[in-house]
Structure 1
Amino acid sequence: MSTLTGTVALVTGASSGIGEATARTLAADGAAVALVARRADRLASLAKEIAAAGGTAVAIEADITDRDQARAAVARTVAELGRLDILVNNAGVMLLGPVEHAPIDEWDRMIDLNLTALLSVTEAALPHLLAAAESEPRRVADLVNISSTAGRQVKRGSGVYNLTKHGVGAFSESFRQEFSRRHLRVGVVEPGAVATELRDHLRPEIREVQQQRLSAMQPLQAQDVADAISYIVTRPRHQTINELLLRPTEQDD
């Protein structure tokens, strides 16, 4: 029997990168997976791929920066798949650059997606996660929040991104303290440089600098992070991985 058989996972930002790889991995582990993102065509293709491999997936197009859509995505997950055992808050954006003369809309986008959307989905999922933690097959539930090395260290040119990722860590630790005795676990994953679409959203002059940095090392792949998430949620009931930091071997910052 697969490790997560009988469970349901919801993955945000599932249309590419870490979210896409995580959805595939959790489905291979036996979970039915709700795929949540804005790009419906990519979600539909991924859902078909998971089904062809013998898994179960439902594609849910949603902009989770809209609280009503975030709540509706969770509600649809439970309505169609029957429960919710695992929430992976993966959706995020990284818009780097100096504070001086920064486009303020970039700050808003990071706060809206990296923080507010994470809180909205978590709030909607909470009663279902608590219910799953009290029932078979595992009698434990998991919240996994994707942060970054930017949630542990601060660099100039990434102040608001640092703000959001430090916030993810702080919220996660408070959440852990509140729900640990109810067997709702929380894990924070903090990847270093990963080869994903995250840098595609940067302004051209900043993207060039980041691409040069990435080319100087062998970056992590999305599957590396998905494997870490799978490890967290497949631990026995008495064990929690609260924080997992992973970097490319060659990354020195």
Structure 2
Amino acid sequence: MRAVEGAGAARCDEFQVAFVEGGDEVRRKLVHAQEVSFERASAVRDFPSYRGQRNYPGLYYAATMDEHVGYESWLERDEAMALDFAVDVVGFASQPFWLFWSDGQRVRSHAPDFFARLKDGTGVVIDCRPSERIRSRDAGAFEATEQACDSVGWQYRLVAAYDPTWLSNVRWLAGYRHDRFADEAVGARLCEVFADGASLMDGAAEVGDPIAVLPVLFHQMWSHRLGTDLSQRLDAGAWAWDTAS
């Protein structure tokens, strides 16, 4: 495995993590922490909010786990929403652990922004930072985190931005992510109407009053029961289909 600037000469078994377990901070070698449910971990540091701060912390309601997840920037909020929307993600947490390693001169640390668990049981570690804001020190930490993930079979992803059209569409659908918009009878009828594909408004009107049907339809799209091309603007004429057909 290649050595990176941020990790120096660190070996795989020299990476350590610190995380919260039972209200206490626990620290152990990363190779011995692979089975920890980091997707349910408490954040290892606070999300401060104060007058005049330049970042935008807050809480995102994740329908995937039916709980709130913290974020510290709009980009992190967008990533939390993207993870919530992802069909293969079963859980995720923000600031799940501290990663420690030696760069050859001193011990360094980094708290990744998110850990996500996939349906197949594998893990994904995510950092969020716009490209123009990545300094050399940040790049070293991201490279070391990627090396640590490689050492235990996790994926690593550095998110700089999302396609604006895709993000706008998913943000709209996220407004209907809660199960209160689910309706089994209307949902089944929508799947029938969209079996061979139809435009959103035409399909909704065939099921019933669009005012009542569209919230269920958007929930179906958020839940991936109905599909559409999210790279295109989501409007009344957008084409959708039953994903099971």
TM-score between the two structures when normalised by the length of structure 1: 0.25
- Indicate the structure whose relative CO is greater, using CA pairs within 8 Å and at least 6 residues apart: 1
Q: Which has the larger radius of gyration?
A: 2
- Greater percentage in helix: 1
- Of Structure 1 and Structure 2, which has the larger fraction of its residues in strand? 2
